[in-house]
Amino acid sequence: MLTLQFGQCGNQVGHTLFSTVAQDLYSANTGVPSKRNSDYVQAGFDTWFKELSKNGKHLARAILVDTEQKVVNTVCSSNESNSMWNYSPANIVCCAGGGSANNWGYGHYIKGPQLSLAALEAVRHEVERADTFQGFLAILSSAGGTGSGVGSYLMEKIRDEYPTKTMASSIVFPYGSGEVCTQNYNTLLTLAKFIDITDVAILFENDQIHGICENLTKVPNTNFNDLNHVIGQKLAAVLQPVLGTTNILSTLVHQLTPHPQYKIATIKTSLLALPSCQLYDGNYKWNSIVWHLKQMLRAPALNLNLTDMETKMPSNSIPSRTDFAYSKSVSNILITRGSSIGNDTIVPVELNDEKLYADWVPHVEKIAHLHQPRKLLGKDKTAALVANNSQLHRPIDAIVDKAWNTYIHSAFLHQYKQHGVEEDDFLQAFAKIENIVKVYRELCSEEIIS
Ligand SMILES: Nc1nc2c(ncn2[C@@H]2O[C@H](COP(=O)(O)OP(=O)(O)OP(=O)(O)O)[C@@H](O)[C@H]2O)c(=O)[nH]1
Ligand SMILES: [Mg+2]
């Protein structure tokens, strides 16, 4: 797999992801015999890393793209001393300058073409040297100018060159309160491109991830580093090796996107832990954990905060009332890691409940379960549910609404026009994303708000 890190957010999240998987691969607390562990470690290194550097460090299969040096220099230098891995200097594609000014148009039409030759050369080099190539994973924020504009420009070029390879993207949505006044335009234009280019887009919302961090750590000064640890753990919980597939990216795409109109997913996790807090407790039965994940698919209701749900511990007693309303899914994948012994077996039947799915989803496509007995990051049990679910219409709808409010006042449009983004491009992007909101919302037409 080749990871492409775009802009500040993409490079910071990507760096934490690689640190997380490296820490996991070196973990001594595995819970499995050494042969099984060495198969896991081998598969993990093949996915994320290539040969050793001259000073004995694993080199990441990653390309770092930015329109300013600062962030890339920081993430590279943070690995200099005691880390077991590093980035290849040849894979840093960066131009001097002050970024893409939070402007999708500037990133897409000006900076993207400037970086394209070097970026595509680095991509070719990596793809050619991989024994078996799984596909691409792009990581970026939709709100700035580089991740969004340069990211979509380069992924479009890569898609043209590798039309049959799996492409997944991991897109971070901005805080709703907004640090950047053009963030909603940028997100609109980014999503409109990525929905066509990539096979699946995994969304992370900064507000929601922030809420998870605050709940976990109970400290008020949550920063990007904390957020990125949560995102890194969620991605690792899904993308580290599992039994039964050697290409997790294509498995995700095949299972999660049975219908071409539904290509977006989120990752829900039970039993998350941050390095800064020791709340983790693995003494829960698998059926409680699966039940807990199912509760994260409940339809929104006044007394139900799904972010809190994600940071609560599973309950070993299933409540007597179980007739909740659920948001409808197109498809889900359950990925479990850790031991399953005695009568504590993993039976994902709760997630096969027909109340969870739109009527038209064929039975075989509803839920897949993948397992890995090897512990993730030394934790007895972890579970992730990758959900392609109607809940997704809410954050996207909120962005479209705000973008539309700015657009009808023609605010900031001249900044985009000067780089070649026409009104028609905006209108097409609105039409595309409004249609996505509509089809996801229609999934839950039977949702009852209880
Ligand atoms: N989760 C998370 N979000 C981040 C991080 N860094 C920036 N963001 C978010 O990303 C958005 C801004 O995008 P950046 O990635 O900084 O922008 P860029 O792609 O570098 O583009 P320009 O700076 O405009 O060239 C804001 O919504 C921030 O909240 C990070 O490390 N983690
Ligand atoms: Mg930047």
Nearest atom within ligand 1 for CA of residue 10: 15
Tens of pLDDT along 204-216? Answer: 999 999 998 888 8
Nearest atom within ligand 1 for CA of residue 204: 1
Model pLDDT, residue 2? 98
141-163 per-residue burial string, b: 16 or more CB within 10 A, e: under 16: bbbbbbbbbbbbbbbbbbbeebe
CA of 144 to the centre of ligand 1 (A): 6
Indicate the pLDDT class of residue 320, thresholds 50, 70 and 90.
low
Model pLDDT, residue 396? 97
- Report the nearest-CA residue for atom 17 of ligand 1: 144
CA of 284 to the centre of ligand 1 (A): 36
Ligand 1 pocket check: which of 19, 141, 183 to mutate, most ligand atoms within 8 Å of Cβ?
Answer: 141
Question: Mean pLDDT in the chain?
Answer: 91
Three-state SS string over the chain comes to: CEEEEEHHHHHHHHHHHHHHHHHHHCCCCCCCCHHHHHHHHHHHHHHHEEEECCCCCEEECEEEEECCCHHHHHHHHCCCCCCCEECCHHHEEECCCCCCCCCHHHHHHHHHHHHHHHHHHHHHHHHHHCCCCCCEEEEEECCCCHHHHHHHHHHHHHHHHCCCCCEEEEEEECCCCCCCCCHHHHHHHHHHHHHHHCCEEEEEEHHHHHHHHHHHHCCCCCCHHHHHHHHHHHHHHHHCCCCCCCCHHHHHHHHHCCCCCCCEEEEEEECCCCCCCCCCCCCCCHHHHHHHHHHCCECCECCECHHHHHHCCCCCCCCCCCCCCECCEEEEEEEEEECCCCCCCCCHHHHHCHHHECCCCCHHHCEEEEEECCCECCECEEEEEEEEEHHHHHHHHHHHHHHHHHHCCCCCHHHHHCCCCCHHHHHHHHHHHHHHHHHHHHHCCCCCCC
d(CA 450, CA 441): 17
CA of 183 to the centre of ligand 1 (A): 10
Ligand nearest to the CA of 149: 1
Ligand nearest to the CA of 108: 1
Ligand nearest to the CA of 144: 1
Angle at 76 between CA 59 and CA 116, to 5 degrees: 80
d(CA 333, CA 59): 30
Model pLDDT, residue 319? 65
Model pLDDT, residue 404? 96
pLDDT(278) > 70: no
Q: What are phi and psi of 297, to 5 degrees?
A: -100, 5
Indicate the pLDDT class of residue 273, thresholds 50, 70 and 90.
low
Please list all protein residues whose beta carbon sits less than 5 angstroms from ligand 2, which is an ion.
Answer: 7-8, 99
Model pLDDT, residue 450? 37
d(CA 417, CA 410): 11
Tens of pLDDT along 97-136? Answer: 888 899 999 999 999 999 999 999 999 999 999 888 999 9
Ligand 1 pocket check: which of 9, 11, 274 to mutate, most ligand atoms within 8 Å of Cβ?
Answer: 9
Q: Name all residues whose Cβ lies below 6 A of ligand 1.
A: 7-9, 12-13, 67, 99-102, 141, 143-147, 172, 174-175, 179-180, 183, 206, 224, 227-228
pLDDT(4) > 90: yes
- Report the nearest-CA residue for atom 13 of ligand 1: 144
Strands 2-6 and 58-60: unpaired
Indicate the pLDDT class of residue 343, thresholds 50, 70 and 90.
confident
Tens of pLDDT along 57-99? Answer: 999 999 999 999 999 999 999 877 778 999 999 999 998 888 8
Model pLDDT, residue 215? 85
- The closest alpha carbon to 347, from 367, 330, 331, belongs to 367
Q: Are 325 and 447 in contact (CB under 8 A)?
A: yes
Over residues 321-342, the mean pLDDT reads 89
Indicate the pLDDT class of residue 55, thresholds 50, 70 and 90.
confident
pLDDT(24) > 90: yes
Q: Are 277 and 250 in contact (CB under 8 A)?
A: no
pLDDT(31) > 90: yes
Ligand 1 pocket check: which of 8, 175, 214 to mutate, most ligand atoms within 8 Å of Cβ?
Answer: 8
Over residues 237-255, the mean pLDDT reads 96
Indicate the pLDDT class of residue 277, thresholds 50, 70 and 90.
low
Cα(first)–Cα(last) distance of the chain, in Å?
Answer: 43
